[in-house]
Structure 1
Amino acid sequence: MRDCSARSKFVRSWLKQASRAKVKICFALCAAVVIFVIFFGHCAIRFFQELYAMGKCPLNYNEKLKSQNELDSSLDLWSRVDVQTCTKWGAPIMWEGTFDPGDFDRHHIQKRTSVALTVFAIGRYLEVYLKEFLKSAEQYFMVELPVTYYIFTDIPEFVPKVKLMKQRHMKVIQVKNQKRWQDISMLRMKTIADFIESHIQHWHQYIFCFDVDQVFVGRFGSEALGETVGLLHAFYYRSHVKDYTYDRNPESAAYMVTGDFYYHAAIFGGTWQGVKNITEFCHQGIMKDKEKNIEALWHDESHLNKYFWLHKPSKVLSPEYCWSTIIGFRFDIRVHRLLWATKFYDILRT
């Protein structure tokens, strides 16, 4: 009996020590995570985000897209099992390795496709960003196709001279500056819609709209063309939908409870009719909010996300097409096509 009692005491003592050890280990691990986040800030957050799995293409393995566009139907969606390559409504998400660039270029050359690129360079943004944006676009943006750059600026005399390739043109359109950068961002929607109506629809089948504070560093080609094209935001493509920064104000026209993805307004595009629909919708939402004396959380980007929630894009671009080096290295980002330029918000937005 004494032996049993001694053994029982020993077991209880050992279990207590083991329990205390587990608590200490858990505490140490939690402390390590907190210290990691504190010392490495955004890098730590991005590290943990990468552990969050993206959704997957809902098609059966090796199944092709059923699309009226034969090129999209030929995409090799299953060459990239590490990322989501199509949406639940059957639109492709363009990633390196899923398409043959030559097939898209030959198709659009045969179709005599012409592309308009719009960019707003207002105030000091022109001096800081426009030249590098245009020079890099000449190297990498739709290089096999005729392209016209439509530059909207308040100081047309300061637009830099950039040598253009054959079949490439530049047109400068003067617009008024605004007191706030938010107003510049939001008013571009009406300006683009009006200019599509008066000019672009007569000359181009497709249009892409860009922010100026970006630099092309790799192919941004005809594979990106579609009826309506949205871009996955580099900071949110691996986040949970509850973390997307939709406008949560029920009074706003941009109000959203949930959505499919979080789209970045730095780039959107499509056919001239598709982009006209996008920009008119966003402008109407902005004006409805203005009547109530409110603004959506992320201005035109919030309204763009609402549009793509109600009217699904026919094509989605992966974050390769607009990456931020602040995020750092990601295994799934095999190429960079466009990079965020260094932001000087303290200087440029004052």
Structure 2
Amino acid sequence: MLAGNAAVRRPDRLGAKLAGARWALASQLGTALPTSMHLWDEVELRLSDWFNPRKRPDVVTTTDWLAPVIWEGTFNRRVLEEYYRGQDLTIGLAVLATGRIADQYLELFIQSANKHFMTGYRVIFYIMVDAMCRLPNLEPGPLQTFQVFTIREDSREDFHLMHMKNLASHILGHIQDEVDFLFSMTANRVFQNDFGVETLGTSVAQLHAWWYFKDIKDFPYERRFRSAACILLGEGDFYYDGSVVGGTPLEILDFIQEYLEGMIHDKENGLNSTYERYLNKYFFTHKPTKLLSPEYSWDTALQLPAQIWLVKAAQCSHMCLHT
């Protein structure tokens, strides 16, 4: 199947590789694995039924590996809605908000997501905070539920490492049985327009607003050969934003497994790369099945170019989260 097909792919497709990854990750996190997995039929929607790359000749709309790049104007929402309404989907949105990030951003993140994220579909918000007192008043909309978890901050771990380890534990513990698709996002964003089912896919990567319009030779990939995150000079394709990652729960678990393994490898070799560079290495070697244009995570520090027709979600500078 072409990578661009909008398919509802269930956990049984992952095979031995992910099964091994799940066991390894469960062992590392000290989390018991479920004794069974759902077996679902695969239902497919042809890419050409809903996606028309010719509508946006001003931007890259299809990758070399035939994955769609979703821009406003390229997709037919009516066709997508008709298809996904029959799939009985549940979509998860996971966010970690600690300290000043929770104080400054979490309430507006939740309020705007209530209004614009996957409206009309069942959504479970997985909210991870370091203290319940930081939690704003939660008023779920129709079809929305909240699950709130407290985590213990570890001064030895950076924000993203803490988030991914906690998210992996919850995916193994219950999320994989609760949702069909999952997004992990940072809280420093405000949804401004519909963030809808056009974004769903097996493995979803977000193009980085800062770097999309730059030359590939200037991308801030990890270039140290000994690092697990290394992408050699002359290699690479896109630069991805670490603040958004999506896909099926076990695809995200697969990424977390490789991220943690890369961190351990580098630490043992006296290296220390960044979460976003590990994510870019992962998507370089495991091509995403769908890419989201910078419209889905536009940085408010940048002026809007003509190519950005409609901002779906706006975020403050990545410097806020020390990526």
TM-score of the two chains, using structure 2 as the length reference: 0.82
Equivalent residues of 1:71, 1:104 under 8 A apart: no
Within the alignment, does 1:246 sit opposite 2:238 as a pair?
no
Deviation at 1:194, TM superposition (A): 1.9
Structure 2 residues without counterparts, runs of 5 or longer: 8-43
Within the alignment, does 1:317 sit opposite 2:292 as a pair?
yes
Paired letter, 1:96 = E
Larger deviation: 148-157 or 101-110? 101-110
State how 1:259-270 maps to structure 2 within 5 Å. Answer: 259-270=236-247
Residue 10 of structure 2 is matched in structure 1 by none
State how 1:117-136 maps to structure 2 within 5 Å. Answer: 117-136=93-112
User: What per-residue deviation string (whole Å, max 9, x for no partner) do you get for residues 61-116 of structure 1?
Assistant: xxxx7776425232111011111110010100001011112222232221011111
Equivalent residues of 2:70, 2:291 under 8 A apart: yes
Structure 1 residues without counterparts, runs of 5 or longer: 1-64
Within the alignment, does 1:301 sit opposite 2:276 as a pair?
yes
TM-score of the two chains, using structure 1 as the length reference: 0.76
Equivalent residues of 1:91, 1:314 under 8 A apart: yes
Deviation at 1:309, TM superposition (A): 0.5
Larger deviation: 160-169 or 216-225? 160-169
Within the alignment, does 1:137 sit opposite 2:105 as a pair?
no
Deviation at 1:267, TM superposition (A): 0.3
Residue 152 of structure 1 is matched in structure 2 by 128
CA pair 325-183 structure 1, distance change in 2 beyond 3 A: closer
Secondary structure in 2 matching 1:120: strand
Measure the CA separation in 1 of the matches of 2:48 and 2:6: 6
Specify which of 176, 179, 193 is matched with residue 218 of structure 1. 193
Secondary structure in 2 matching 1:282: helix
Measure the CA separation in 1 of the matches of 2:304 and 2:187: 24
Secondary structure in 1 matching 2:184: strand
Residue 233 of structure 1 is matched in structure 2 by 208
Secondary structure in 2 matching 1:199: helix
Deviation at 1:162, TM superposition (A): 2.4
Secondary structure in 2 matching 1:266: strand
Residue 337 of structure 1 is matched in structure 2 by 312
Residue 257 of structure 2 is matched in structure 1 by 280
Q: Percent identity?
A: 33
Deviation at 1:192, TM superposition (A): 1.5
Residue 48 of structure 2 is matched in structure 1 by 73
Residue 41 of structure 2 is matched in structure 1 by none
Residue 52 of structure 1 is matched in structure 2 by none
Equivalent residues of 2:6, 2:201 under 8 A apart: no
Q: How many residues align?
A: 280
Measure the CA separation in 2 of the matches of 1:313 and 1:205: 17
User: What per-residue deviation string (whole Å, max 9, x for no partner) do you get for residues 174-193 of structure 1?
Assistant: 1111326x612123222212
Within the alignment, does 1:200 sit opposite 2:207 as a pair?
no
CA pair 344-162 structure 1, distance change in 2 beyond 3 A: farther
Residue 94 of structure 1 is matched in structure 2 by 70
- Answer 1 or 2: which has greater strand percent: 2
Equivalent residues of 1:123, 1:177 under 8 A apart: no
Secondary structure in 1 matching 2:225: coil
Residue 184 of structure 1 is matched in structure 2 by 159
Measure the CA separation in 2 of the matches of 1:230 and 1:162: 28
Equivalent residues of 1:142, 1:221 under 8 A apart: yes
Measure the CA separation in 2 of the matches of 1:200 and 1:159: 21
Deviation at 1:291, TM superposition (A): 2.1
Larger RCO, structures 1/2 (Cα 8 Å, 6+ apart)? 2
Measure the CA separation in 2 of the matches of 1:332 and 1:283: 36
Equivalent residues of 1:262, 1:305 under 8 A apart: yes
Paired letter, 1:261 = F
Paired letter, 2:161 = M
Deviation at 1:284, TM superposition (A): 1.3
